[in-house]
Amino acid sequence: METGFVAALGAWRTQEGPLSRSLSTAVREAVADGRLPAGTRLPSERELARALRISRGTVVTALTLLRDDGWLHTRHGSGSVVRLPARLTERTTPWSLDRGGASGADLDLTLAVTAAPHEAYLAALARAAERSAALLVDSGVATAGLPRLRELLADRYTRSGLATRPEQILVTSGAQAALTLLLDHLHTDRRAPVAVESPAYPGALAVLRGRRARLLPVPVAADTGWDTERLADAVRRGRPRLAYLVPDFHNPTGAHMDGPTRRALAELADRHELTLLADETMRDLDLRTPPGTEPHLSGRHVIQIGSASKTLWSGLRVGWIRAGADLVRQLRRNPLQAQLSPPPLEQLIATELLGDGLAALLADRRERLRAQRDHLTSLLAATGWTYAVPDGGLTVWLRLPGPVSASGLAARAARHGLAVTPGPLFAADRTTLSRHLRLPFTATPDTLTRAVRILRECAATEGERDRAAQG
């Protein structure tokens, strides 16, 4: 009898309700938090009953509950093993999202992230583990990135139209890490403002605020995209030396920059010695069929930032910078670089996942995300709220009707068990965009349906309250 199994259950008896249900809950939670790895073999029913000091009937009932729920797999003649249910391993929605996330709400729509591609990730991890032995005999200290990963990323850029050598790639622990490192090197005159989009990706705003950077917001809209004229005007007047942009399926609007705008921006950057930091984290999440063919935002004054955290998994923590080989060498000498360099093992996993299998993996993810986007927008169609169906990315950017305040709505929704992110969190000044709301379609259709229902009910109440206050 494996005593490890019983130990992993912890104090399972303290749960309320029937013993069989307590036992099945304890097993499920032990599998869910990794104390009982998927594939662990269960002791026999007789052994379990004896070890747990309960009747065999109670054990049988608990195991039936687990089996029906997908947490237990029984092969005749070879016993039962615990596993994660297929409904969890086969979905893109993070598990915690609809069971009370970090926010404490029942439904958490504040994160626009996906679960890992389960089978592909486990396979990549196994191959990376096989290849790790050669790394373990060395120092493991930070480098510019594993040679094979830098080659692979350079090849990807070259194949998508942007000729790139491996020396132009610096591997970082994500897109925000890349931005932090670039700002530390390039944002030396703190009086010069940094141009950002409005709305902007909150992760980037947090990094910029952390540096006490002055922000120069320039509007971007879900339907009409970037206004080159206004950007040019802002650059002439505000004289920023840096701009942070998300040209591909912009977070939160989903806007996608067309070819002429890309060229206009690259020229503007050259004319004003303005460095554009183009965050391409969402570029692979193109939901059009077939995917589009827009070029990279590129040019003498453009630095590309990439990341695997939205296309693959946030927990991988692998991103990169594509820049001139000289700048990459300078960034390598920055004291922050070593701390913002991902562990070699994660780089091996990234190398496995970003290689030949990526296209099939992305096709599958895109199909799931497309279905979820379509489900969400079909729900929103009935609301009368304003939004554009995004061509890619992970989010829909809503405008609420009439007087309804997004922060008020979010606060009310939170009381009804739904956490959402209101517009001001995407605003450089933290106060405008007060009629907007971001909804990620990374949730399951079920959760999206429940979430929109809660939002509609809350919006109706908020609307009435506002009208009453004004009347």
The binding track of 346-385 with respect to a second copy, each residue x by CB under 8 A or -, is x-xx------------------------------------
Which lies closer to a second copy via its Cβ, residue 161 or residue 315?
Answer: 315
- Considering only residues 76-95, where is the footprint of a second copy by CB under 8 A? 84, 88-89, 91, 94-95
Residue 419 identity (one-letter amino acid): A
Residue 440 identity (one-letter amino acid): P
> Which segment (169-177, 259-267, 359-367, 413-421) binds a second copy by CB under 8 A?
169-177
- Considering only residues 237-276, where is the footprint of a second copy by CB under 8 A? none
Binds a second copy (CB under 8 A): choice among 176, 198, 261, 421: 176
Euclidean distance between CA atoms 205 and 197, whole angstroms: 10
DSSP 438: E
For the chain, the straight-line distance linking the first and the last C-alpha, in angstroms and rounded, comes to 73
> Which segment (65-73, 256-264, 306-314, 407-415) binds a second copy by CB under 8 A?
306-314
* Site for a second copy contains 7 (CB under 8 A): no
In the complex, minimum distance from the CB of residue 217 to a second copy, in angstroms, rounded to a whole number: 18
* Site for a second copy contains 189 (CB under 8 A): no
3-class SS of residue 260:
helix
Binds a second copy (CB under 8 A): choice among 24, 173, 275, 281: 173
Which lies closer to a second copy via its Cβ, residue 119 or residue 233?
Answer: 119
- Considering only residues 27-46, where is the footprint of a second copy by CB under 8 A? 31-35, 37-39
* Site for a second copy contains 343 (CB under 8 A): yes
The binding track of 108-147 with respect to a second copy, each residue x by CB under 8 A or -, is ---x-xxxx-x--xx--xxx-xxxxxxxxxxxxx-x---x
- What element of type H or E holds 242? strand 242-245
Q: Residue 190: name the closest of 168, 211, 174 by CA.
A: 211
* Site for a second copy contains 303 (CB under 8 A): no
Q: Residue 120: name the closest of 378, 289, 311 by CA.
A: 311
DSSP string, 244-261: EE--SS-TTT-----HHH
CA within 13 Å, CB half, 181: 32
Alpha carbon distances (Å) from 307 to 15, 179, 182, 233, 319? 42, 11, 15, 31, 4
